[in-house]
Structure 1
Amino acid sequence: MAAVRVPPNFFGIPFGLAGLAGSWVVAAGDGNAPSWVGDALLVLAAVVWLAVTVGYAAYTWSVRRAFVADLLDPVLAPFVSLAVITPMLLAAQGLTPRNLTAARIVVDVFLVLTVLFGGWITGQWIYGPLDLDRMHPGYFLPTVAGGLVASATTAVVGQRLLSVLMLGLGLVCWLVIGSLTLNRLFFRPPLPPALIPTLAIEVAPAALAGVALFALNGERIDFFVSLVAGYGLLMVLAQVRLLPAYLGLSFAPTFWAFTFPFAAVATTTLHWIADSRPSGHRVYAYLVLAGITALIGGIAVRTVVAAARGQLLPTAPEPARRDR
């Protein structure tokens, strides 16, 4: 019987749902949304993360060297990091108001795993052959997203020094990997259609840096928040030019690459609206929340439809299995 393949990019599903939950949590904190919506989305993200983790673990346990192959795959390996990054978000947002000690423990455990994976994959990129044409914006995930999410979540649970340390990790990796990624996108052949949705990840580093800085500075717009927001605005505007490429795609699970980056943009925007309080600020907050919910909700509905039709999970050839 053919094995059911659970690819590492499926971890983008709970990651995106956690990002949407974060937007609702921020809106609720500003009095612009009911708190139960964010809580429900956090529970949903946790359940989906657990389901994907169990499915992925079952597949990699039953198929010989499947996990090693994923870790060495130049396209898929960065997505493995989301398995350990997502629980930091869930713990910081969901556990902190209820049990700060438990939140710190979960955040710290998965922070260690995130840093270990980031160190390993950085060493792999240095040691192993790396083809620039196979590079894509998903390379931001292990160290840039990992570092910035770790910074934001440790700030939320009250570990300021650790938050600054992780902010440094994320920002420096953003400078290095961002330069390489843009060089690949500017001067090398276009990404294959399956990877085009990862172009949305280009908006994530600045947005995540903003979220981390807001968490560190008490939710205030300061010099550094404004600094990263300038580049973030450029990357968001660049997405407009990419719309023809996006609209020409057929639906695939890789569409979840759109979800967390734009959720991070939405969350940062909500922080800006809450701090600056322009005239009609509540309307702006509602529009941002409605937009990101419609985007991620639409992708979620389309994913459920694909699953119901048996079109979601790829089927692998009959594998060599572990001896029992």
Structure 2
Amino acid sequence: MAKLGRVPPNVFSASFGLAGLAEVWAFGERYGITPAGVTDALMILAAAVWLVSCVLYFARWRDVRADLLDNIGAPFISVALIVPMLIAALGLEPHAHDAAVVLVDVFIVLTILYGGVLTGQWIYAALDPAKIHPGFFLPTVAGGLVASAAATNVGQRRLGEFMFGLGLICWLVLGSIIMNRLFVSPVLPPPLFPTLAIEVAPAPVASIAYFALNGFRIDVFAAILAGYGVLLVVAQVRFLPAYLRLTFSPAFWAFTFAYAAVAAAALIWINMGRPTGHFALSWLVIGAITLLVGGVFLRTLVAVARGRYLPPRPTPPPTVSRTA
């Protein structure tokens, strides 16, 4: 532990991306495309990475306290509360329903509490517009919408509706604030630039939650969500040159869950619409997102092995002794 670099709050993004990939494979299994067992394996891996991340991050309370007071870092801590809901609802529920319900409910309560505290802080304290970034979606928008799907998946439909409302309204409010910052202020600095990928996430995550609530039917509202989602995916093309110039860091995991949510929503649409070649299209989607997440995972292992994954701790200034 002494030689470990500073563990940033976005360390939880790795387990989030792996859980998102597991969700894609779960939908593939649901539609008879992918073999059984892959989802469980990915969920176990996501749970293991989440647990290691928790040990590494929360072991240093001084850093945690500093992140909680930092408008840039605080939103990422919420991912530690979101990931267990995904794992419980998709990985644990088929094997231990009661345990899955308890875990989902506990982390929904924690998500509401943390999201509420941050919302109050953003309203009450002076917020520097330059520090606003798409990661602000995580505590309430991602938290609310993932919680909605998780609650519905474990049989708590009314709670799912409650959390869908929380996530949807927060998306509308925060989306306008974040877009205003991105449109009229200077571009995000390189360390935060990968968070632009999070812009694509709310629409597909809302779509997944909505499909869970409406019994996986395509209707007007589902089409509205998909339309906005497609727009934001196309907008990402403009960022590719800047993405390719970035130096690898834990922030790269921001790409994984965002695009995993897009892949999962696309998979649902493909298999409900069943266009010509839908089976091949489904595998194309699954293969592409697996390559993306797998590539980031392997790159992470290389960086960890070389001791270059976590940012180094700042060197304290030398102590100057006084002489009489």
In structure 2, distance between residues paired with 1:258 and 1:77: 19
In structure 1, distance between residues paired with 2:184 and 2:314: 36
Larger Rg: 2
Two-structure CA RMSD over aligned residues (Å): 1.2
Structure 1 match to 2:207: 210
In structure 2, distance between residues paired with 1:34 and 1:313: 35
Structure 2 match to 1:227: 224
After superposition, what is the alpha-carbon deviation per residue over 1:72-128, rounded to whole angstroms, capped at 9, x for unaligned? 111110000000110000000011111211111100000000000000000111122
Query: In structure 1, which of residues 82, 85, 88 is the aligned counterpart of residue 85 of structure 2?
Result: 88
| 2:118 is equivalent to residue 121 of structure 1 | yes
After superposition, what is the alpha-carbon deviation per residue over 1:111-150, rounded to whole angstroms, capped at 9, x for unaligned? 0000000000001111222111111000000000000000
In structure 2, what residue type is equivalent to 1:290?
Answer: G
Q: Secondary structure at the match of 2:256?
A: helix
Q: Secondary structure at the match of 2:37?
A: helix
Q: Superposition pairs for residues 20-59 of structure 1, below 5 Å?
A: 20-59=21-60
In structure 2, distance between residues paired with 1:286 and 1:3: 39
Q: How far 1:2 sits from its partner (Å)?
A: 6.0
In structure 2, what residue type is equivalent to 1:192?
Answer: P
CA gap of 1:129–1:98, structure 2 versus 1, over 3 A, is same
Q: Superposition pairs for residues 1-324 of structure 1, below 5 Å?
A: 4-60=5-61, 65-317=62-314
In structure 1, distance between residues paired with 2:162 and 2:125: 28
- Contact residue 3 and residue 317 of structure 1 kept, 8 A: no
In structure 1, distance between residues paired with 2:36 and 2:53: 26
In structure 1, what residue type is equivalent to 2:160?
Answer: S
Gaps of 5+ in 2: 317-324
In structure 2, distance between residues paired with 1:107 and 1:188: 38
CA gap of 1:123–1:12, structure 2 versus 1, over 3 A, is same
Structure 1 match to 2:319: none
In structure 2, distance between residues paired with 1:94 and 1:2: 34
Q: How far 1:317 sits from its partner (Å)?
A: 4.1
Structure 2 match to 1:322: none
Q: How far 1:36 sits from its partner (Å)?
A: 1.1
- Contact residue 137 and residue 181 of structure 1 kept, 8 A: yes
In structure 2, what residue type is equivalent to 1:308?
Answer: A
Q: Secondary structure at the match of 2:13?
A: helix
In structure 1, what residue type is equivalent to 2:8?
Answer: P
In structure 1, distance between residues paired with 2:26 and 2:158: 24
- Contact residue 4 and residue 59 of structure 1 kept, 8 A: no
Gaps of 5+ in 1: 320-324
In structure 1, distance between residues paired with 2:4 and 2:93: 39
- Contact residue 2 and residue 317 of structure 1 kept, 8 A: no
In structure 2, distance between residues paired with 1:6 and 1:250: 17
Q: Secondary structure at the match of 1:244?
A: helix
In structure 1, distance between residues paired with 2:288 and 2:119: 35
In structure 1, what residue type is equivalent to 2:270?
Answer: I
- Contact residue 259 and residue 295 of structure 1 kept, 8 A: yes
Q: How far 1:314 sits from its partner (Å)?
A: 2.2
Q: Secondary structure at the match of 2:201?
A: helix
In structure 2, distance between residues paired with 1:264 and 1:246: 19
* Off by >3 Å, runs of 4+ in structure 1: 1-4
TM-score by length of 1: 0.95
TM-score by length of 2: 0.95
